[in-house]
Amino acid sequence: MKLNLVHLYPDLLNLYGDRGNIMCIKKRLEWRGIECEVKEVLHGEYVNTDEADLIFLGGGSDREQEIVCEELKKNKKALIDYVENDGAMLAICGGYQLLGNYYQTKDKKIEGLGILDIYTQWEEERLVRNIIVNSDLFETPVVGYENHSGRTYIGSYKPLGKVFFGLGNTGRGDFEGVVYKNIIGTYIHGPLLPKNPQVCDYMLLKALRKKYGEDVELEKLDDEIELMANKCIVDRYSEEKNRVAEAIKRRI
């Protein structure tokens, strides 16, 4: 088997260790003897969705996101078709915001891809902290770090999960991320995938099953260190005193 991973604009969107997500996808395939080819689409280049089994769209600064938005407009239709035909895609932070109709920043409106009928509104206070989300897609909680000024309103779409600790989509601490067909959009960095191998494997399975049929299964890997790193954060915020300490720290 072989998976083609398309990494959109790594030259523009490379914040918060996002390349760790690419490394994770690549390694978790290689560790199972599955070939992975990463195609980087750089600024000014055309996105060929026919060649993609999985698309990754990361986060960047507002300035860089604006450049990306101009670029993506040229590929809008192809990307919408890709998603509607069950193409797998993972979009994080800035990339997540771009899935929607628009991102209203402090002083301008950045038009999104319109793949999902959602939108994002800028607010002064940045939402910055560790985040833990319980998702019905996985047994293990999803852990990471959020750092965003945008509040994303997903309407009636299904969220990735319920926030156990942190602030999430709108800053209210209720829900985080979005799931639609074979897309996951989320604010969670960390980077997301290495400490959440369950999310990585979910995406891989979606991509491989689309390409090779529903009976594809993934070999189990030794995730001891991954799960310990994940649990370390979950345990920390499962203790009331640590949640309180964090809240106090944020006030002073």
Catalytic positions are 93, 189
Instruction: List the interface residues with other proteins, window 122-141 (CB under 8 A).
Output: 126, 128-130
Region 26-45 residues binding other proteins, contact defined as CB under 8 A: 27, 43-44
Does position 148 interact with other proteins (CB under 8 A)? The reply is no
Which stretches does DSSP call E strand in the chain? 2-8, 35-41, 54-57, 88-92, 102-104, 109-111, 119-134, 142-153, 161-165, 175-176, 178-180, 183-186
Contact map string, positions 94 to 123, toward other proteins, x by CB under 8 A: ------------------------------
CB 92 within 8 A of CB 128: no
Q: Measured from the CB atom, is 14 or 238 closer to other proteins?
A: 14
Which residue reads 């070999």 in tokens?
A: 219
Q: Any residues with CB less than 8 A from the CB of 217 and at least 6 apart, and which? A: none
**In angstroms, rounded to a whole number, what is the distance separating the alpha carbons of residues 14 and 88?**
20
Q: Is 58 in the site for other proteins (CB under 8 A)?
A: no
How far is the C-alpha of 233 from the C-alpha of 146, rounded, in Å?
A: 14
In terms of Cβ atoms closer than 10 Å to its own Cβ (0-12, 13-18, 19+), residue 16 is buried
Query: Of 22-30, 105-113, 160-168, 237-245, which segment contacts other proteins by CB under 8 A?
Result: 22-30
Q: Are the C-beta atoms of 96 and 61 separated by less than 8 Å?
A: no
Q: Which is nearer to other proteins, 10 or 87 (CB)?
A: 10
CB of 186 to other proteins, least distance (A): 14
Scanning 112-120, 170-178, 179-187, 190-198 for contacts with other proteins by CB under 8 A, the matching segment is 190-198
Least Cβ distance, residue 12 to other proteins (angstroms): 7
Using rule CB under 8 A, residue 201 touches other proteins: no
| Sign of the alpha-carbon torsion through 242, 134, 215, 1 | negative
Residues 210-229 that bind other proteins (CB under 8 A): 225-226, 228-229
Please give the residue ranges that form the binding site for other proteins (CB under 8 A): 11-12, 14-20, 23-24, 27, 43-44, 61-64, 67, 126, 128-130, 145, 147, 189-191, 194-195, 225-226, 228-229, 232, 249
